[in-house]
Structure formats: structure tokens, C-alpha cells
Amino acid sequence: MKILVDENMPYAVELFSRLGNVQAVPGRPIPQDALNDADALMVRSVTKVNESLLAGKPVKFVGTATAGTDHVDDAWLASAGIGFSAAPGCNAIAVVEYVFSSLLILAQRDGFQLRDKTVGIIGVGNVGSRLNARLEALGVRTLLCDPPRADRGDAGEFWPLDKLVAEADILTFHTPLNMSGPYATHHLVDADLLARLPADRILINACRGEVVDNAALLDALSGNKKLTAVLDVWEPEPDLSLALLEKVAIGTAHIAGYSLEGKARGTTQVFEAFSQFIGQPQTVPLDSLLPAPEFAEVTLSGALSEAKLLRLIHLVYDVRRDDRPLRRVAGKPGEFDKLRKFYEERREWSSLRVICDDATTADVLKKLGFNSQLK
Ligand SMILES: NC(=O)c1ccc[n+]([C@@H]2O[C@H](COP(=O)([O-])OP(=O)(O)OC[C@H]3O[C@@H](n4cnc5c(N)ncnc54)[C@H](O)[C@@H]3O)[C@@H](O)[C@H]2O)c1
Ligand SMILES: O=C(O)[C@H](O)[C@H](O)COP(=O)(O)O
């Protein structure tokens, strides 16, 4: 059996070799001839998986090591009898930690406390719900918008987007890209929404570029009303607007979910799904794959201020390490994808043991996802 895997999937060659012959290939574009004798295909979000890629090929299973699935025509796969699995939630923690790093940097730059702000979360799934829990642990007021969940009658208080636009100081988007239907998100942020946004707001997009009309955002950022934007995703990728990159406070190359843990979970989730699909079910504990982190333990004295939290989280991940290189290379062909392919190892907060002498601090840090302990 031949299994094609995207070369940007850590641990894929090692794991899938347990099940067949593995070939690692670039995902953008995927080499067509490699598909001619492939039984299974494991991709990331850069590969469009549809009839034009797979019709007439022997592929019987597609896995995507990603949370988003807008690059996959799952209806066509089902009609062609091809098995499919994604990796829901694999990198949700990484995105949350990206958002926290961004917000605490902006708080320091602009002289505010996150606790004094209201954060509007649009899309309260794997990312949005974890972000909400961590913000609440810090005492930050949140407003949630998730019409599909509201319509399903899920527990929780969900608000219309208009209320968040009017009231939230920070809007952060974590929806799928839905091109149509009752919950369409394509250009959810458009010129009209941006015009209604009061001054001095922060807008974060770490879901899909097309959720925000990038031309309208550039216009808004070029106007007189103060608006701060953080973009991890762009319309289009990889050829983002250089003018827009210049205007955003933080700009990165679609790496919000790129913690080592997040990428490894993506690989193990599709590996487990495929092993099940072929009747050889296997599970892979994440700890069996991951190396020791660069910083494993620190001690922390006293109460937790936001300034201290900023310094602590940046021992693990500081989003500016990803903003600078994008500004350096943006516009040069191939460089956006290179930043993603040769991504410097990044860990999640849970990799850091924090020994505290203050019980409240230890408790808050645990709720934030650190491995905290009281001395
Ligand atoms: N930048 C990155 O590296 C990165 C990493 C992970 C995920 N993502 C993107 O972020 C998206 C969200 O990730 P997730 O893991 O939380 O997905 P998820 O499917 O768990 O959650 C998405 C939530 O959005 C809600 N939603 C759908 N339509 C909506 C609408 N019109 N308005 C408001 N809410 C709506 C859904 O009901 C769901 O609760 C993914 O679909 C993916 O495209 C990006
Ligand atoms: O949807 C996701 O999971 C992320 O956007 C994804 O991880 C982005 O990384 P890529 O798959 O493009 O490597």
C-alpha cells in the first residue's frame, strides 16, 4: 500500500510507515504523478482536494491534518466512495496562545489592561471555546457569537454579531470558511461592518483569510478611524497584499496553529482515523512523540499581573518571532510557504512547569493551560 503524505506533517513518515510505503511530497502543488499509484493521501490546508485532483486515481482515503476543511470537497469524496477524516481541534490551543500573545503585546504597547476590555469571540468551537475559558480565567469579559450553536440550543449565552460589533473592544474570528448557506462567513467582515465599528477597536483574524474582505480592511486601516488589526491569514494566500501587511499591527504567515503539539496532534488524529479505516486500529500517545521542551521549568514569585503573564507566556511563544520574518520576505515568490515549511519549533504553555509560591497564581495558571504547581 502506498501512502502519500504532505512533507509538512511532523511524524507522518515515521507513523504511516507502520501501515505501508510512505512518500512525502510538497502540498502546494501536489505532484500529480505521485497520485497515480497512491492508495491514501494525507494533506494540509494548502492542497485543494476535489474531483480534478483525484478523479481516476486509486486513492481510497484522504486525511487532512487540519481543523479547517474548506480545501476539501467532502461531498465529492463521499460520492466517489473515498474515506475522509480531518483533525478537529488539533491546533486549537496553539491558536488561543497566538491570540493571547498578540493581545498582551498590544496591551503593553497601547497601555491597557486586558481585564478592562470586552472580547467578542466569533465562532465558539474548538478554538473559540478554549479562548473563552482562558479569558474568563483571567477575569476578562467576553461576548460570544455562534449562530449555528445558538440555533442548536447549545448551553451558553450567544449574541448576534451586531452586538459584538457595537460593544466589544476586541473582535476575534474563529469560524470556518463557509462560502454560502445560512451561516456563510465569506467576507463576514466587509466594508459595512468596518464602517459600523466604533473607533479604537482591535480585530483579529486567525481563521481563514476570506472571512475578512482584505481590500475593505486595507481601506479601513488607511482611514482616519483608529483600528488595530492582527492577521494570521490572508486573502489570498500565499500572495498577500503588501500594503495590508504594512498596516497591520501583527502579521504572520498562517502559523497560528503551528505549535509542535498542534501539528503532531493533527498527524496522530489522521493516522488513527486511517488505521481504523483499514481495519488496523492504533492509537498514538502524543507524549511518545514529542521531544523535551527548551524551557521545562521556572519558578514564579508572588501574584500574577498581566505584565508578568506576558513575560511568562513569551518564554514559550512570542508572536513577534513570526511577524518579523514575514515582513522581511513578503512579496518574494515561495517565501510565505518557506516560512511555514521551515518553522522553528514552538511549544504550548502546557510544556512549561511553573512552580508558584502563591496559590491564586498557581490556580489561574492551571486554568490558563500551564503545568503549574504550588511550592
Ligand atoms: N490560523 C490557523 O493556523 C488555524 C488553526 C486552526 C483553525 N483555523 C481555522 O479556524 C476555524 C475554527 O477552528 P475551530 O477548530 O475552532 O473549528 P470548529 O469547527 O471547532 O469551530 C468553528 C465554530 O464556528 C461556528 N460558526 C460557523 N459558522 C459561523 C458563523 N457564520 N458565525 C459565527 N460562528 C460560526 C461553528 O458553529 C463552530 O462552533 C477552522 O475552521 C479553520 O479554518 C486556523
Ligand atoms: O485549519 C487548520 O488547522 C490550520 O489553518 C492549518 O493548520 C494551517 O496549516 P497548514 O495546514 O496550511 O499547514
Query: What does DSSP say about strands 21-25 and 40-43: parallel, antiparallel, or unpaired?
Result: unpaired
- Cβ proximity of 204 and 170 under 8 Å: yes
> Which residue has a Cα nearest atom 9 of ligand 1?
207
- Establish whether this prediction's ipTM goes over 0.85: yes
The whole-angstrom separation of Cα 125 and Cα 154 is 11
Count of Cβ atoms closer than 10 Å to residue 296 Cβ: 11
Is the shortest distance between the CB of 208 and ligand 1 below 6 Å? yes
CB atoms within 10 A of CB 245: 18
Q: How confident is the model at residue 125, as a pLDDT?
A: 98
C-alpha 121/C-alpha 204 separation (Å) is 10
- Hey, what's the cell of 135? 479569558
Q: Which of 210, 237, 272, 348 is catalytic?
A: 237
Q: Given 3-state DSSP classes, what are the helix, strand and coil percentages for the chain, each rounded to the nearest 5?
A: 40, 15, 40
Active-site pick, 28, 44, 254, 346: 254
CA of 106 to the centre of ligand 1 (A): 24
> Rounded to whole angstroms, how far apart are CA atoms 226 and 10?
41
pLDDT in the model for residue 346:
98
**Where would I find the beta strands (DSSP E) of 188-272?**
201-205, 227-231, 250-251
The answer to whether residues 130 and 96 touch, using CB atoms and an 8 Å cutoff, is yes
Mean pLDDT, the chain, integer: 98
* pLDDT for 240: 98
Distance 192 CA to ligand 2 centre (A): 29
Which residues, at least 6 apart from 26, have a Cβ–Cβ distance to it below 8 Å? 6, 7
With CA atoms as reference, report the closest residue to 113 among 125, 121, 103, 122. Answer: 103
What three-state secondary structure class fits 250? Answer: strand
Predicted pLDDT at 251? 99
Task: Name residues of the chain where pLDDT drops below 50.
Answer: none
| pLDDT tens digits for range 1-31 | 999 999 999 999 999 999 999 999 999 889 9
Which of 174, 230, 258, 319 most suits a substitution to test ligand 1, by most atoms within 8 Å of the C-beta?
174
How confident is the model at residue 361, as a pLDDT? 98
